[in-house]
Amino acid sequence: LALRLVKHLAAADADAAAKNVAFSPVSIHAGLALVAAGAGGATRAQLLSFLGAPTADGLAAFGRLVADRVLADKAGSGGPRVLFGGGFHRLDGSHVEAAFMYELKTMSISCMDGFKVLKLPYGPEGEYEPAPEGLPYKIYRGPRASSVKTPLGDDATQFSMFVFLPDERDGMATMVDVITAAPGYLYSVLPTETKLVQINLPKFEVSLDWDLGSDLRRLGLTLPFSRKVGDLRGMYKKDDGRPTFLTKVAHKAIIKVNEEGTEAAAVMTALSGGGPMPDHVEFIADHPFTFIIMEERSGVIVFAGHVLDPTCK
């Protein structure tokens, strides 16, 4: 469901000059799961198929997993600290000035044919050491500051933001087609190795409030919205025989990434002046990109969206 929505919304905004998108697949899934619990007949069957659940019991079990592990309030906070002014190139070729967060540090990144994927884990707060004079960043020393993955306890959760950046300025739509072509492909391109990365990531905030009904219908979920055949009578205590169907699916999501945002748990790399830049990967997000926030143990995508213009909310 998350990948279908990512592709659908990216295609819908292909001609938009500056429409950022953010949504929460897990909350949409949870809402439709509640509808499925009260649906009957063909309407219920279509909802289960749309949500990828073989049975109603399986859907309920997945809902409990999400509630207990993914939605529990255990995520940390933090993030890049230094803001720089910089240019961001929009899909229509125009240029806007945006505040950028700059860091040079060891991070998890994968470099694919046509795009890069950067991992920004949410972790417990650490201490920041002042940067050496003249250097445009700070040094992060946190309790999990390591480039080596450590085993998580059974009750632990690990949330990370993954930023998908196309090599070409107008390559976001093509990149989204690639990463959503098969459900397993997105997970196969997530970073597993760490490298020294120069990061230029714009500060952005996306707040979107809209009715998903038409989008869900275009993706094939039609029966719950049908006045004639929709069967949601199980959602009511009393069945008076009147048709029961959905008229709208309201959804609101807010994503904010700034100097107080995502904190990467790797050690900040400190450089002394005068020497050459060590081998590194450049991740310069000065053009449209896609992002997801995932709970890694379960693989559940909690938020997703894309940024076409970081100066627009």
pLDDT tens, residue by residue, 10-66:
766 555 455 788 888 888 888 888 888 888 899 999 999 998 888 888 888 887 777
Which pLDDT belongs to residue 278? 58
**Are 49 and 224 in contact, with CB atoms under 8 Å apart?**
no
Which pLDDT belongs to residue 42? 92
- pLDDT grade, residue 113 (50/70/90)? very high
pLDDT tens, residue by residue, 259-313:
554 432 222 223 333 445 557 889 988 899 999 988 888 888 888 888 888 887 6
What are the C-alpha distances in Å from 121 to residues 22, 29, 171, 284, 298?
Answer: 19, 24, 25, 18, 15
pLDDT above 90: residue 162: yes
Q: Which residue has the higher pLDDT, 208 or 33?
A: 33
3-state SS assignment for residue 138: coil
Phi/psi of residue 87, nearest 5 degrees? -95, 145
Element (H, E) at 96: strand 95-112
Dihedral sign, CA of 250, 204, 20, 215? negative
Under DSSP, the state recorded for 67 is I
pLDDT above 70: residue 110: yes
**Are 224 and 46 in contact, with CB atoms under 8 Å apart?**
yes
Mean pLDDT value across residues 181-198: 89
How far apart are the C-alpha atoms of 259 and 100, rounded to whole Å?
Answer: 9
Mean pLDDT value across residues 112-123: 88
pLDDT above 80: residue 186: yes
User: Which residues does residue 143 pair with via DSSP β-bridges, in sequence order?
Assistant: none
What are the C-alpha distances in Å from 7 to residues 108, 176, 312?
Answer: 25, 6, 21
In this prediction the pTM is 0.72
Mean pLDDT value across residues 140-158: 40
Dihedral sign, CA of 109, 12, 287, 160? negative
DSSP codes, 157-220? --EEEEEEEESSTT-HHHHHHHHTSSHHHHHHTS--SEEEEEEEEE-EEEEEEEE-HHHHHHTT
Mean pLDDT value across residues 231-246: 77
Which pLDDT belongs to residue 123? 54
Under DSSP, the state recorded for 61 is H
Task: State the angle between helix axes of 2-12 and 172-179 in degrees (0 to 180), rounded to the nearest 10.
Answer: 160
- pLDDT grade, residue 223 (50/70/90)? very high
**Are 47 and 69 in contact, with CB atoms under 8 Å apart?**
no
Q: Where are the domains of the chain?
A: 2-307
Closest by Cα among 212, 279, 282 to 252: 212
Which pLDDT belongs to residue 114? 95
Which pLDDT belongs to residue 69? 63
Distance of alpha carbon 51 from the chain centroid: 19
Which pLDDT belongs to residue 124? 42
CATH of domain 2-307: 2.30.39.10
pLDDT above 80: residue 136: no
Which pLDDT belongs to residue 189? 94
- pLDDT grade, residue 222 (50/70/90)? very high
